[in-house]
C-alpha cells in the first residue's frame, strides 16, 4: 500500500525514465560488479537533476524507507548493494555544469565518469589527477563518497584533496550547497570534507567542483631492482628529497607479483634482466617541457647504486620503454586473477613501518597459511601496502567455507597492520564488507563520534544503512 502510493509520487517526480521497478532492469543495481553479492530493492530511482533527487529523497524518507545511493558501482566492498528500500542511481546526472579554466575548476554532476572528467580537463589543457583502473565507469559522486585513491595520491592527494566543494542532498531532502569552489574559505565546518569518504551515509553527493592540475609535459621513468623493502624506502626518500612534488608515482612490487605478471600477461617484459626481490617503479613529471628530468633522475639513482642500495636499474630512454613500465604495473590485477585466489589486503602503515609490517605479516602468513604465497603491490610513499595472500586455485577450491577463509586471512593481516599503527582500509573503504572490522578495530571513542554525527544528519538511519558504520 505504502509502496503503491510512493511509486505514484516518485513517478510524478522522476518521469518514466527515472523509475525502474522491473526486477530484470533492477538486477545490475542490486548486485556488485564482480557478481559476488546481491541485494534487493523496491525500486531504482534515476533522477536527472538535483531537484528531482531532493524531491525523491523527501518522498522516500518521509515514509521511513531506506535509500541506497549508487555511483558507477565499481566498489570492492559492497557499499552499494541494497538491503531493502530504494536505490538512487546518479547515472542520469551527467552534466558538465561549468568550466572555469582560469580558476582551474570544473563543476560536474555526480554521475559524470572519471574518464569524462579526464577528457574535459585535457580539453582545457590541464589534467584531473586521479588515476585508477575503473575510470570509464566510476562516477565523481562515488569517488568522493569513497574518497578514492589510486597511484597519484603521493603528489596530488586522494579525492578529498581534489575537490573544492560538493552539493549534497540530505536525508530530509534539504540540499547543502558548498559549490563555491573557493580555495580558501574559513566559514565554519567543511561539509565537503565530512561527506568525503562517508559512503553515502550522511547524504547523497549530487555534484562537485573539482580542482585541476597543470598538464605534465616532461617525464622520466625508472624501474629499479632492490634487495629489501628497507632499501626501497631509503631510495624512495632520496628521490623525494631530490624531486619533491615532481614525483608522480613510487610503486613497489615484490618478486612473486612480478612473476605473476610475467607468467600470465602475454607481451609484458620485465625491464631488468632478472626478476629482482623487489621492484620499484618511479615516475617523475613536470609541466615544463624544458625540464630534462631523465638525467637528473639518473644522477640521483647512480649515487644510490654506488652505495649498494640498488642492485639493478633501467631508466626509460623512449616513450615505448616508459609505456612498457606502466603496462607492467597495470597488469597486476589481471595477472592475479589468472594466477589464483588472492586475498588482497588494503592495509596502510606509516612508510617507516612498512618493513616491520611486511616482516610480521610474512611470519603470520607462513605460519597460518602455508599453502599460500605472499605477494606485494604497494604505493610506497603513501604507506599503502596491498599485501596479497595468494592461494592456488585448486587449494582455494578445497576450502569448504570460502568466505570464512577470506575473513580469517583478513583478520590475521589486519591485526598485524593494527599492531604497527596501521589501517585495514587505506583506499577501498568499508562498505558492507568491513563493518565488523570497524567494530573490532576502531577506537570506540572515534566510532561513537561518528555515530553521533550520523544521528545528527540522518536521525532515522535511512541513508545507506548497513554501510560504513557497524550497527549500534
Which residues within the stretch 239-278 sit at the binding site for a copy of itself (CB under 8 A)?
240-246
Q: Which three cell numbers stand for residue 239?
A: 628521490
Q: Does residue 221 bind a copy of itself (CB under 8 A)?
A: no
Kindly state the cell numbers that stand for 235. Answer: 631510495
Is there a contact between 280 and 226 (Cβ–Cβ < 8 Å)?
A: yes
Strands 86-89 and 43-45: parallel
Applying the rule CB under 8 A, the residues between 113 and 172 that interact with a copy of itself are: 125, 146-147, 149, 153-155, 157-158, 160-161, 170
Kindly tell me which of 39 and 197 has the beta carbon lying closer to a copy of itself. 197
Q: Please tell me the distance from the alpha carbon of residue 431 to that of residue 464, in angstroms, as a whole number.
A: 9
Q: Which of 130, 233, 361, 462 binds a copy of itself (CB under 8 A)?
A: 233
- Asked if 361 touches a copy of itself (CB under 8 A), the answer is no
426 is a contact residue toward a copy of itself (CB under 8 A): yes
Contact pick of 12, 84, 398, 455 for a copy of itself (by CB under 8 A): 455
Quick one: DSSP state of residue 267? T
Query: Is residue 448 a contact residue for a copy of itself (CB under 8 A)?
Result: yes
**Which residue number, 114 or 285, has a Cβ lying nearer to a copy of itself?**
285
Of the candidate spans 1-9, 68-76, 86-94, 281-289, the one that interacts with a copy of itself by CB under 8 A turns out to be 281-289
Least separation in angstroms between residue 44's CB and a copy of itself is 26
d(CA 464, CA 472): 15
For the segment 191-220, give every residue that binds a copy of itself (CB under 8 A).
Answer: 191, 193-194, 196-198, 202, 213-216
Of 467, 455, 463, residue with least CA distance to 173: 463
Nearer to a copy of itself, 191 or 358 (CB): 191
Q: How far apart are CA 243 and CA 241, in angstroms?
A: 6
Total residues contacting a copy of itself by CB under 8 A comes to 97
**Binding residue (CB under 8 A) for a copy of itself from 12, 174, 317, 333:** 174
Q: CB neighbours (10 Å) of residue 44?
A: 23
Do 152 and 131 touch, CB atoms closer than 8 A?
yes
> What does the alpha-carbon distance between residue 170 and residue 50 come to, in Å, rounded to a whole number?
11
**Is 352 among the residues that bind a copy of itself (CB under 8 A)?**
yes
CB 330 → a copy of itself: shortest distance, Å? 20
Of 297-316, binders to a copy of itself (CB under 8 A) are 299
- Per CB under 8 A, 359 contacts a copy of itself: no
Distance CA 268, CA 246 (A): 27
Task: Kindly state whether residue 383 participates in binding a copy of itself, applying the rule CB under 8 A.
Answer: yes
Please give the Cα distance from 226 to 218 (Å, whole number): 26
The residue from 39, 47, 271, 422 that contacts a copy of itself (CB under 8 A) is 422
Q: Does 427 bind a copy of itself (CB under 8 A)?
A: yes
CA distances from 83 to 43, 66, 78, 79, 86 (A): 12, 9, 11, 11, 9
For the CB of residue 217, give the shortest distance to a copy of itself in the complex, in Å: 9
The grid coordinates of residue 172 equal: 530530509
Amino acid at each position: 500500500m505504502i509502496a503503491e502510493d510512493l511509486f505514484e509520487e516518485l513517478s510524478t517526480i522522476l518521469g518514466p525514465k527515472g523509475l525502474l521497478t522491473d526486477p530484470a532492469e533492477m538486477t545490475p543495481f542490486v548486485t556488485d560488479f564482480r557478481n559476488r553479492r546481491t541485494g534487493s530493492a523496491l525500486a531504482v530511482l534515476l533522477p536527472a537533476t538535483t531537484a528531482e533527487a531532493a524531491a525523491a529523497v523527501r518522498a522516500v524518507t518521509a515514509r521511513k524507507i531506506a535509500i541506497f545511493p549508487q555511483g558507477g558501482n565499481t566498489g570492492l566492498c559492497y557499499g552499494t548493494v541494497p538491503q531493502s528500500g530504494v536505490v538512487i542511481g546518479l547515472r542520469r546526472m551527467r552534466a558538465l555544469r561549468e568550466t572555469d579554466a582560469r580558476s582551474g575548476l570544473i563543476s560536474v554532476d555526480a554521475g559524470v565518469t572519471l574518464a569524462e572528467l579526464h577528457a574535459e580537463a585535457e580539453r582545457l589543457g590541464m589534467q584531473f589527477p586521479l588515476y585508477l583502473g575503473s575510470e570509464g565507469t566510476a562516477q565523481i559522486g562515488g569517488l568522493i563518497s569513497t574518497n578514492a585513491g589510486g597511484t597519484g595520491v603521493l603528489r596530488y592527494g586522494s579525492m578529498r584533496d581534489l575537490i573544492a566543494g560538493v552539493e549534497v542532498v540530505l536525508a530530509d531532502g534539504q540540499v547543502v550547497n558548498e559549490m563555491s569552489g573557493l580555495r580558501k574559505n574559513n566559514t565554519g565546518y567543511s561539509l565537503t570534507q565530512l561527506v568525503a569518504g562517508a559512503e553515502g551515509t550522511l547524504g547523497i553527493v549530487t555534484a562537485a567542483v573539482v580542482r585541476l592540475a597543470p598538464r605534465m609535459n616532461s617525464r622520466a621513468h625508472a624501474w629499479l631492482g632492490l634487495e629489501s623493502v628497507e632499501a626501497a624506502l631509503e631510495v624512495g626518500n632520496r628521490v623525494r628529497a631530490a624531486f619533491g612534488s615532481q614525483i608522480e608515482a613510487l610503486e613497489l612490487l615484490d618478486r612473486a607479483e612480478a612473476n605473476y605478471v610475467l607468467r600470465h600477461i602475454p607481451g609484458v617484459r620485465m625491464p631488468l634482466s632478472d626478476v629482482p626481490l623487489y621492484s620499484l617503479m618511479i615516475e617523475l613529471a613536470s609541466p615544463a617541457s624544458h625540464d630534462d628530468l631523465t638525467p637528473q633522475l639518473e644522477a640521483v639513482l647512480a649515487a644510490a647504486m654506488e652505495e649498494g642500495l640498488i642492485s639493478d636499474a633501467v631508466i626509460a630512454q623512449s616513450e615505448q620503454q616508459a609505456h612498457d613500465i606502466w603496462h607492467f604495473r597495470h597488469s597486476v590485477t589481471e595477472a592475479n586473477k589468472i594466477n589464483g585466489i588472492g586475498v588482497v589486503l588494503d592495509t596502510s602503515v606509516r612508510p617507516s613501518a612498512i618493513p616491520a609490517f611486511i616482516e610480521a605479516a610474512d611470519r603470520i602468513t607462513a605460519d597460518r597459511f602455508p599453502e599460500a604465497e605472499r605477494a606485494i603491490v604497494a604505493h610506497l610513499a603513501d604507506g599503502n601496502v596491498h599485501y596479497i595472500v595468494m592461494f592456488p586455485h585448486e587449494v582455494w577450491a578445497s576450502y569448504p567455507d570460502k568466505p570464512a577463509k577470506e575473513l580469517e586471512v583478513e583478520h590475521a593481516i589486519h591485526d598485524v597492520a593494527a599492531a604497527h599503527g596501521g589501517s585495514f582500509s587505506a583506499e577501498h573503504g568499508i562498505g558492507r564488507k568491513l563493518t565488523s572490522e570497524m567494530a573490532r578495530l576502531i577506537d570506540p571513542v572515534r566510532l561513537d563520534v561518528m555515530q553521533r554525527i550520523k544521528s545528527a544528519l540522518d536521525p532515522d538511519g535511512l541513508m545507506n544503512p548497513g554501510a560504513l558504520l557497524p550497527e549500534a
